[in-house]
Structures are given as structure tokens and as C-alpha cells.
Amino acid sequence: MLALNQENGLTPSQLAEKLGVRPPTITKTINRLAAQGFLEKRASDTDARRAHVYLTESGSEAIRAIERSVRKTEKQALKTLDKKEQKALVKLLARIEANLSRKGAVMVEDEDEMEEDAKPVS
């Protein structure tokens, strides 16, 4: 739903690619969310074999509620951090996200190596 909030009207295959999941997975998810009234599928204007997925008004309302909740939670989580600490945290979290989202990231196979890497640097 968040992906559609950014770019409404994607095809299921575009959504699957954007989210890094297999097409059957996204199809099941689309069908469940459509049954709950959050999404709707519409036939393509140019290719009858293709469908596009759109957020419904109910889906958009759910996104807005989620965004409000996230802002409230962020405010609560950061309330004791000053601006410099918040900025440092954002940078660290961005680096962690980049590490986790890197395609083909090398996994550490040796537990001893992993434990050694986890020790703080003096």
C-alpha cells in the first residue's frame, strides 16, 4: 500500500519488482487487500491483458492513519535526544538500511569472524 501511495496504478509485476517479492506473493497480497477494500484492480486502457492496482479512498485513509501513528511514535522515541543526536541516529539507521538492502550482500559464514567483528573497537 505504501508503494502505491508513492506511485498509484502500478501493475502487479511492477509492484513485485519494487518490493522485491515474487509475483505470486504480490498477487495474494493484492487479492487480500482488495477484499478488505484497500485496493482495487482495473484493466489497462491500452492492454486488456494487464491490470493496474490502485489505492481506494479507504486505502488512502489507512495510509494517512499509519503516517500519523508513525509521526507520533517517532516523536515519542526521539523526545530525549537533541538535534545533533537525532541527526547522528538518522545517519546510522540509513547506513544500516543500506547494508540490509544491498543486493547480493556477502553473509559472514564463520561465527568466530562474526563475533570478532562485533567486538567494540578501542
- pLDDT value for 116: 53
Classify residue 57 as exposed, middle or buried by CB count within 10 Å of its CB (0-12, 13-18, 19+): exposed
Q: What angle do CA 89, 96, 80 make, to 5 degrees?
A: 20
Q: Which of 43, 32, 40 is nearest to 8 (CA)?
A: 40
Cell numbers linked to 74: 517517532
Instruction: Indicate the pLDDT class of residue 54, thresholds 50, 70 and 90.
Output: very high
Say whether pLDDT at 4 is over 70. Answer: yes
Digit-coded pLDDT (tens) for 96-105: 999 988 754 4
Please choose, from the candidates 103, 98, 77, the residue with its C-alpha nearest in 3D space to the C-alpha of residue 20.
103
Three-state DSSP at 43 gives strand
Number of DSSP helices (H) and strands (E) in the chain, helices first: 6, 2
Model confidence at 117, in pLDDT bands (50, 70, 90)? low
Q: Which of 63, 62, 51, 57 is CA-nearest to residue 26? A: 51
Q: What's the pLDDT score for residue 45? A: 85
DSSP designation for 10:
B
Q: Name all domains of the chain by residue range, CATH numbers in brackets.
A: 1-103 (1.10.10.10)
Predicted local confidence at residue 103, as pLDDT = 53
pLDDT tens digits, one per residue of 7-39: 999 999 999 999 889 999 999 999 999 999 999
At 79-94, the pLDDT tens digits run: 999 999 999 999 999 9
Residue type, 61: E
